[in-house]
Amino acid sequence: GDSVTQMEGPVTLSEEAFLTINCTYTATGYPSLFWYVQYPGEGLQLLLKATKADDKGSNKGFEATYRKETTSFHLEKGSVQVSDSAVYFCALSDHGGTALIFGKGTTLSVSS
Amino acid sequence: DAGVIQSPRHEVTEMGQEVTLRCKPISGHNSLFWYRQTMMRGLELLIYFNNNVPIDDSGMPEDRFSAKMPNASFSTLKIQPSEPRDSAVYFCASSFRGAAEAFFGQGTRLTVV
């Protein structure tokens, strides 16, 4: 079945450092791909998405490109802030109205 | 729109008691999902509905868990009887079926003692 694999955390960075969180997926069709973020004590919020190959999703300085050839959707940010500390989830969904399939999440901790 | 609304936000109950979690999806959304989040297992899909009809309940742990969606604006997840291992954060999410992305509620933190 479809699945998502994320890099293990936690990821600990200093403010203004470059961030990469790796995500790869397995899917039989052509899924949509998502990054969600969960701040402490809150629900998951959609951070960005891409619906087809070579699409780049971006939001709040974060970017991810849908790479069909490598089945990847890595999350990047050029300069992280303390306020970016959260848990980040990669997810996929096919277009048939089924539920999102999530990776296990990666905890990011940014210190000043 | 107020987003997905879950209640209660926190629930502490004794083992053996019945627990009912509630969810109001975003108006106009026709898919609803219940997830459970724990440190050990991460985020697990329990059940989801399309147009108020349960589509996949294969994630429901056992017969103690049941979910209903009597109308487009309300769903419940019931655990009877509850056990300490049910302690987790339970999330409800909704989506418009054609859009794929889901919107999550704030979650209900359940503690069974």
pLDDT of residue A46: 95
Q: Kindly tell me if the per-residue pLDDT of B89 is higher than 90.
A: yes
Q: Do A97 and B98 touch (CB under 8 A)?
A: yes
pLDDT of residue A95: 67
Mean pLDDT, residues A40-65 taken together = 95
Query: Which of A32, A42, A99 comes nearest B45 by C-beta?
Result: A99
Is B56's Cβ below 8 Å from some Cβ in A? yes
pLDDT of residue A30: 85
Query: Which of A42, A95, A105 comes nearest B100 by C-beta?
Result: A95
Confidence of residue A99 (pLDDT cuts 50, 70, 90): confident
Is A26's Cβ below 8 Å from some Cβ in B? no
B104: which chain A residues are within 8 Å (Cβ-Cβ)?
A: 36, 43-45
Is A51's Cβ below 8 Å from some Cβ in B? yes
A36: which chain B residues are within 8 Å (Cβ-Cβ)?
A: 104
Mapping DSSP onto H, E and C, the string for chain A reads: CCEEEECCCCEEEECCCCEEECEEEECCCCCEEEEEEECCCCCEEEEEEECCCCCEEEECCEEEECECCCCECCEEECCCCHHHCEEEEEEEECCCCCCCEECCCEEEEEEC
CA distances from B67 to A12, A102, B3, B61 (A): 39, 21, 20, 12
d(CA A95, CA A49): 14
pLDDT above 90 covers a percentage of chain B that reads 85
Q: Do A32 and B101 touch (CB under 8 A)?
A: yes
pLDDT 10s digits, B52-84 = 999 989 999 889 999 999 999 999 999 999 999
Choice among A57-61, B23-27, B94-98 with the minimum mean pLDDT: B94-98
Confidence of residue A1 (pLDDT cuts 50, 70, 90): confident
pLDDT of residue A41: 86
Phi/psi for A86 (5° steps) reads: 180, 180
Q: Do B104 and A98 touch (CB under 8 A)?
A: no
Mean pLDDT, residues A33-49 taken together = 94
Q: Kindly tell me if the per-residue pLDDT of A97 is higher than 80.
A: no
pLDDT of residue B96: 86
Q: Which two tokens stand for residue A43?
A: 């629900």
pLDDT 10s digits, A63-90 = 999 999 999 999 999 999 999 999 999 9
Choice among A70-74, B39-43, B103-107 with the minimum mean pLDDT: B39-43
Q: Kindly tell me if the per-residue pLDDT of B40 is higher than 80.
A: yes
Question: Which three-class secondary structure state does DSSP give residue B86?
Answer: helix
A104: which chain B residues are within 8 Å (Cβ-Cβ)?
A: 42-43
pLDDT of residue B112: 98
- Work out the mean pLDDT of chain A and round it to a whole number: 93
Compare A80 and B42 and report the one with higher pLDDT.
A80
Is B58's Cβ below 8 Å from some Cβ in A? no
Q: Kindly tell me if the per-residue pLDDT of A96 is higher than 70.
A: no
